[in-house]
C-alpha cells in the first residue's frame, strides 16, 4: 500500500484499509500509517526510515537519527556498506529523490531546512 502512504503524506485521500494479509498480524498499511504520523502530521524521519528500509536487503540494520535545531532538521542514515550503493543509486539519483521527498514532507510540518546525510 505505498500509494496510500504517499497520498496520506502529501495530502490526498488515503484508500480504504484492506483486511490484514496472511503474512502477519497487521497489514503493511497499518504499520506505515502508524510510523509516519506524529500528532497528525507527517514525520520526515519516519518517512526516510521507511523508504530506506524498503530499499536495502537488511532493513533491520538501518539506523536513522534526527537532530533538530530550531527550524532545521538533519537526518542521518546508516546502513550496511553493501546496501549503501542501493541507497545512493546511479549518480546519486535515489538519494536525491529521497531528499526531495523528505524536504517536501518537512515543509508541510514547518521545517525550513532539511539535510539527509549518509553515514559511512
**Residue range of the domain that includes 101:** 2-119
Say how far apart CA 50 and CA 45 lie, in whole Å: 9
Length of the chain: 120
Assign residue 80 the CATH number of its domain. 3.30.300.20
Quote the percentage of the chain above a pLDDT of 90. 49
Taking only the tens place, the pLDDT of each residue in 85-115 is: 999 999 999 999 999 999 988 888 888 899 9
What's the rounded mean pLDDT across residues 18-24?
A: 44
| Rg of the chain over all Cα atoms, to the nearest angstrom | 15
Say how far apart CA 60 and CA 53 lie, in whole Å: 8
- Structure pTM? 0.66
Specify the number of domains making up the chain. 1
Cβ(92)–Cβ(50) below 8 Å:
no
Taking only the tens place, the pLDDT of each residue in 27-54 is: 343 333 334 344 445 688 999 999 999 9
Amino acid at each position: 500500500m505505498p500509494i496510500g502512504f504517499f497520498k496520506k503524506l502529501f495530502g490526498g485521500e488515503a484508500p480504504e484499509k484492506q483486511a490484514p494479509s496472511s503474512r502477519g498480524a497487521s497489514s503493511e498499511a497499518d504499520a506505515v500509517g502508524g510510523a509516519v504520523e506524529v500528532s497528525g502530521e507527517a514525520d520526515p524521519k519516519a518517512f526516510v526510515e521507511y523508504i530506506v528500509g524498503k530499499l536495502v536487503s537488511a532493513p533491520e540494520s538501518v539506523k536513522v537519527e534526527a537532530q533538530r535545531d530550531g527550524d532545521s532538521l538533519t537526518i542521518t542514515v546508516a546502513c550496511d556498506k553493501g546496501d549503501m550503493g542501493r541507497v545512493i543509486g546511479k549518480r546519486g539519483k535515489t538519494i536525491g529523490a529521497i531528499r526531495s521527498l523528505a524536504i517536501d514532507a518537512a515543509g508541510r510540518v514547518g521545517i525550513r531546512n532539511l539535510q539527509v546525510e549518509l553515514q559511512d
